[in-house]
Amino acid sequence: MIAAEAPRRSAYATLGTLGRISNIRGSLPEAYWIVWLGTLVNRLGGFVAPILTFYLTGERHLLVGEAGFIVAMFGGGSVVAALVGGVLADRVGRKATMLISMIGGGVLMASLGFQRDLVAIAVNTFALGFAGELYRPAVMAFVGDVVPPADRLRAFGYLYWVINLSFAFAAVAGGLLARWSYTALFVCDAATMFGFAALIAIRLPETHPIRAPGDGAVTPAATVSLVDVLVDRTFMAFWLLSFGMSMLFYQSAVPLSAHLAAQGYDQAAYGAVMAVNGVLIVLLQPLLTARVAGRDRSRFLALAGLFAGGGMALHGVSSWIAVHVAAVAVWTLGEIIAAPINSTVVANLASPQARGRYQGTLGMAWGLSSMLGPLVGGAVLAGAGPATLWGACLGIGAVISVGYLATAAGRRARGA
């Protein structure tokens, strides 16, 4: 009897899991899950980004400085893409912008694998960063279009979760594929972008321009310009806080790796410490997002600011690897809390005609911090030392926390 009960309990557990998955799927619109699935396909094949520096220095025999410049070119393209993609999403449509991005990005991804000249590689990389990242504000605006306000936090949380899950797979699979063929790496990455494009073309509805109720006329997206977004004081205050938060997170790149190297750790130790970030996001993101839903988001953002600054500050407390692991765990909690809330707040602040512009401007904050964060942090580390860098992170996190609480009334007044 006992032996017979074990498979029965296992079957019940499987049915329960399938039931929960079915409930989650049914709780959000079908159109949302098409974008979620396309993001999964695209990001599972995101092989190139994690190992681009290794490709440039190893396969193309570039100097480290040259490789760093080219990687920065990709970041520069993505910063421009955030604004242009937002405007395109509002003017020509979410679906059209996603198609332009995935098809153009796929072509440029494939061509990058065949470039040999330094200038050609740099230009191709910048163009790839631009075209390949145009889709992001369009996706965020699309989610805001099709998901009701009460469900947006969960929707953005699931999207953030699948991006990180896919990135972890792509980093490992890309490293293995590169051992066989770098050309295949670029071609496979491009193929997943084309796969997302096919899914968009066949299954995805267009949600913009929005038709005015009653007369079927098209509401002109031009009534809200990018300038209007930039002079929106409530939004720009939120943008500055998000930018500050993202600058903290990017101290985990060059500054942290240099700090660990000075303490005698190698690349493998740094990779193992940073792996804690991905593991915790995959394990905790759905749970923590569910806890935040229906509660005061400004207080959670304030908590995220403290986690981000305090976690980074922990890196300066000790050279023990266990302390660094704990530090990553703390600031990762801040990242898990803040990421879906940021997109949700912006979706609620923006009018339907301007969701792309608002989400694109928010995305620009992360793009800028990806370029400036490592540079500023590295300069402080080299010039003033680790105590100053990690102590400044704690202070900045505290200021950001207070800032979220101080500006909460303006967001609440607009339903965000």
Amino acid at position 284, single letter = L
The pLDDT tens digits for 39-79 are 999 988 887 877 787 788 888 888 867 887 888 888 889 99
The answer to whether the beta carbons of residues 352 and 222 sit under 8 Å apart is: no
**Share of residues in the chain with pLDDT > 70 (%):** 91
Amino acid at position 351, single letter = S
Q: What is the mean pLDDT of residues 92-109?
A: 96
Residue 133: pLDDT band by 50, 70, 90 thresholds? very high
- Name the more confident of 413 and 375: 413
Mean pLDDT of the chain: 87
In this prediction, residue 216 carries a pLDDT of 43
Q: How far apart are the first and last CA of the chain?
A: 56
In this prediction, residue 218 carries a pLDDT of 44
Q: Where are the beta strands (DSSP E) in 283-399?
A: none
The pLDDT tens digits for 243-299 are 999 999 999 887 898 898 899 988 778 878 888 888 899 899 888 888 887 788 999
Tokens of 24: 């989650």
Q: Give the number of other CB atoms < 10 A from CB of residue 25.
A: 12
Residue 209: pLDDT band by 50, 70, 90 thresholds? low
In this prediction, residue 122 carries a pLDDT of 92
State pTM to two decimals. 0.85
Torsion, CA 370, CA 374, CA 376, CA 379, rounded to 10: -160
The pLDDT tens digits for 34-48 are 999 999 999 888 878
In this prediction, residue 21 carries a pLDDT of 65
Residue whose C-alpha is closest to residue 234's, from 407, 5, 4: 407
Out of 139-143, 281-285, 309-313, 396-400, pick the least confident.
281-285
Residue whose C-alpha is closest to residue 257's, from 269, 245, 248, 275: 269
Write down the residue that tokens 């709780």 correspond to.
Answer: 27
In this prediction, residue 11 carries a pLDDT of 46
In this prediction, residue 60 carries a pLDDT of 85
In this prediction, residue 217 carries a pLDDT of 42
Q: What is the mean pLDDT of residues 153-174?
A: 86
Q: What is the mean pLDDT of residues 305-326?
A: 96
Query: What domains, with CATH codes, occur in the chain?
Result: 29-208 (1.20.1250.20), 225-416 (1.20.1250.20)
Q: Is the pLDDT of residue 180 over 90?
A: no
Distance CA 161, CA 147 (A): 17
Q: Is the pLDDT of residue 395 over 70?
A: yes
